[in-house]
């Protein structure tokens, strides 16, 4: 199946589900490495002006049924509070509040509130869709029971749930056998298939919009980079940047330049990397691409470090950290501090290196969400080894600035 046809088919299946009053729950099975792609597809559907539906997403962990439904209700009420002014201006009437349902058990309270919410939207709004993507599921049987409950007890045909599940080890495996009204779709193409189809679609020379041509070129370039085929990656990234400039897409130019600079650095062409990071940084600042700024500054710092310009590298890392703190990008901030520590150590400033690594540990320890559990432990391990190698102690979290 051509790549464009795959995404079109997946989107059409979702549209049909959202318009079907007889379906409440749809399970989407996806591999972890494809989940970001799926979330982009859902975000695109939400942003589509031709789509009348509203979407929200919850990553609340599932520990128990009561805890989960209480978390969903709290998140939904918080979202409604944020939307209150524009919704009121659009004709929305608030008919029910969580506190009005204080005597209900948590699961009944949630479906009653969610159903009333969906029914209260103006007529031009289609379904209200809640994407359920728990960052952890401590009790798979309990989660299955919770999904079956919302499917059977949600009172409004306009309240829908998209449940994200793993393709190879689904928590909700065969759920449709016990609950025939719950259906699933599989969102999957292997990375090799995606690359092959993208190349085939590009080779045709027709059927793709300019935006799709740029995105497919970027995708194929990323695959080449992953295989360390840096010359091919460089060629494709340069094409991507040139097309983005021609089509007037400065945000894409910034992203293309960032990736192009990464390839220059991988090829150890540090002057070219430095120059290209500078171009990417100017564009990211000029066009308010906030999250990209600390990423560019961090890799620019690494490039300066590899050229032996330690003082300039530290300055780049310090500015990157300030941007991370302003945007609450904790994993990136911890990485920046690790890079800064390595730079100080290379410059013979072992005490400063230890300070940075202790601060990095404090940032990791402050990432309490289970979503970051693997990143937290994986990031802390090498830092602890570096502190041990330096013979420096690990400072208590409270003593770290």
pLDDT score at 321 = 96
Same domain, 238 and 185: no
Q: Are residues 90 and 13 in the same domain?
A: yes
Question: Which CATH number is 351's domain given?
Answer: 1.25.40.10
Dihedral angle computed from the Cα positions of residues 227, 232, 234 and 237, in that order, rounded to the nearest 10 degrees = -90
Tens of pLDDT, residue by residue over 345-364, are 999 999 999 999 999 999 99
Q: Are residues 370 and 257 in the same domain?
A: yes
Q: Per the domain annotation, does 386 fall within a domain?
A: yes
Determine the pLDDT at residue 320: 96
Domain count, the chain: 2
Residue 206 lies in a domain: no
First to last CA, the chain: 54
Strands laid side by side in the 128-132 sheet? 54-58, 128-132, 159-166, 25-30, 183-187
373 pLDDT above the threshold of 60: yes
What is the arithmetic mean of pLDDT over 207-215? 89
Domain containing 339 equals 229-399
pLDDT category at 244 given cuts 50, 70, 90 is very high
Q: What angle do CA 380, 385, 390 make, to 5 degrees?
A: 125
Residue 240 shares a structural domain with residue 380: yes
pLDDT at 93: 67
**Domain CATH number, residue 78:** 3.40.50
pLDDT band at 398 (very low <50, low <70, confident <90, very high): very low
Cβ atoms 28, 165 nearer than 8 A: yes
* Gap between the Cα atoms of 193 and 52, Å rounded: 32
- As a whole number of angstroms, the distance between CA 358 and CA 79 comes to 36
Q: Are residues 298 and 175 in the same domain?
A: no
Q: Which of 26-40, 113-127, 206-220, 232-246 has the lowest mean pLDDT?
A: 113-127
pLDDT at 212 over 90: no
Q: Are residues 41 and 163 in the same domain?
A: yes
Q: What is the pLDDT of residues 271-298, one digit of tens each?
A: 999 999 999 999 999 988 888 999 999 9
- The answer to which of 63-72, 86-95, 334-343 has the lowest mean pLDDT is 86-95
Q: What is the DSSP string of 318-357?
A: HHHHHHHHHHT-HHHHHHHHHHHHHHHHHTT-HHHHHHHH
Tell me whether residue 134 is in a domain. yes
303 and 373, same domain (yes or no): yes
Q: Mark which of 161, 189, 217 sits at the end of a domain.
A: 189
Is pTM beyond 0.75? Reply is no
Supply the pLDDT for residue 375.
76
pLDDT at 255 over 70: yes
SS3 at position 301? helix
Task: Name the residue among 332, 255, 326 with its Cα closest to residue 301.
Answer: 332
138-196 pLDDT, tens digit each: 999 999 999 999 999 999 999 999 999 999 999 999 898 888 779 899 998 888 888 88
Specify whether 245 is located in the same domain as 166. Answer: no
Q: Is residue 57 part of a domain?
A: yes
- 8 Å CB contact between 266 and 225: yes
Provide, rounded to the nearest whole percent, the portion of the chain with pLDDT above 70.
93
- How far does Cα 202 stand from its chain's mean position? 27
Helices (H), 139-229: 140-153, 175-178, 191-204, 210-226
Asked if 108 and 247 sit in the same domain, the reply is: no
Statement to judge: residues 185 and 290 lie in one domain? no
Give domain status of residue 286, yes or no: yes
Q: Is residue 93 classed exposed, middle or buried when 0-12, 13-18 and 19+ CB atoms within 10 A define those classes?
A: exposed
Q: Is residue 200 part of a domain?
A: no
Structure confidence at residue 397 (pLDDT): 44
The reply to whether 69 and 184 lie within a common domain is: yes
For residue 214, tell me if it sits in a domain: no
Considering the domain boundaries, does residue 218 fall inside one? Answer: no
Same domain for 46 and 179, yes or no, is: yes
| Domain final position from 136, 167, 189 | 189
Q: What mean pLDDT, rounded, does the chain reach?
A: 88
Local confidence band at 399 (pLDDT 50, 70, 90 cut-offs): very low
- What pLDDT was estimated at residue 401? 34
The H-assigned helical ranges of 205-249 are: 210-226, 230-246
- 8 Å CB contact between 147 and 182: yes
């Amino acid at each position: 199946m051509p790549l464009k046809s795959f995404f079109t088919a997946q989107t059409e299946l979702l549209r049909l589900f959202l318009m079907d009053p007889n379906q409440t729950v749809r399970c989407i099975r996806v591999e972890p490495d494809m989940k970001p792609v799926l979330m982009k597809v859902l975000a695109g559907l939400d942003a589509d002006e031709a789509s009348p539906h509203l979407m929200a997403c919850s990553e609340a962990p599932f520990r128990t049924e009561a805890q989960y439904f209480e978390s969903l209700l709290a998140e939904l009420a918080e979202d409604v509070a944020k939307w209150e002014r524009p919704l009121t201006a659009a004709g929305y009437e608030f008919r029910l509040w969580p506190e009005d349902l204080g005597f209900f058990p948590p699961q009944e309270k949630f479906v009653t509130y969610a159903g009333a919410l969906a029914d209260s939207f103006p007529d031009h709004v289609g379904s209200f869709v809640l994407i359920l993507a728990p960052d952890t599921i401590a009790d798979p049987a309990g989660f299955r029971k919770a999904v079956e409950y919302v499917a059977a007890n949600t009172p409004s045909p306009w309240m829908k749930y998209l449940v994200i599940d793993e393709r190879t080890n689904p928590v909700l495996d065969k759920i449709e056998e016990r609950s025939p009204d719950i259906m699933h779709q599989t969102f999957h193409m292997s990375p090799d298939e995606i690359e092959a189809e993208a190349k085939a679609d590009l080779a045709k020379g027709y059927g793709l919009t300019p935006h799709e041509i740029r995105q497919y070129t970027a995708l194929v370039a990323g695959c080449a980079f992953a295989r360390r085929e840096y010359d091919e990656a460089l060629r494709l990234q340069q094409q991507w940047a040139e097309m983005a400039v021609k089509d007037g897409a400065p945000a894409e130019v910034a992203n293309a330049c960032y990736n192009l600079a990464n390839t220059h650095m991988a090829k150890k062409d540090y002057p070219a990397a430095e120059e290209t990071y500078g171009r990417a940084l100017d564009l990211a600042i000029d066009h308010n691409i906030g999250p990209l700024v600390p990423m560019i500054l961090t890799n620019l710092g690494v490039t300066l470090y590899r050229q032996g310009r330690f003082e300039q590298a530290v300055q780049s890392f310090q500015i990157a950290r300030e941007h991370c703190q302003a945007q609450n990008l904790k994993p990136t901030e911890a990485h920046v501090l690790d890079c800064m520590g390595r730079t100080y150590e290379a410059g013979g400033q072992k005490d400063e290196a230890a300070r940075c690594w202790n601060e990095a540990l404090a940032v990791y320890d402050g990432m309490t969400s289970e979503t970051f559990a693997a990143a937290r432990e994986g990031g802390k391990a090498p830092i602890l080894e570096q502190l041990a190698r330096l013979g420096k102690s690990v400072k208590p979290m409270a003593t770290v600035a």
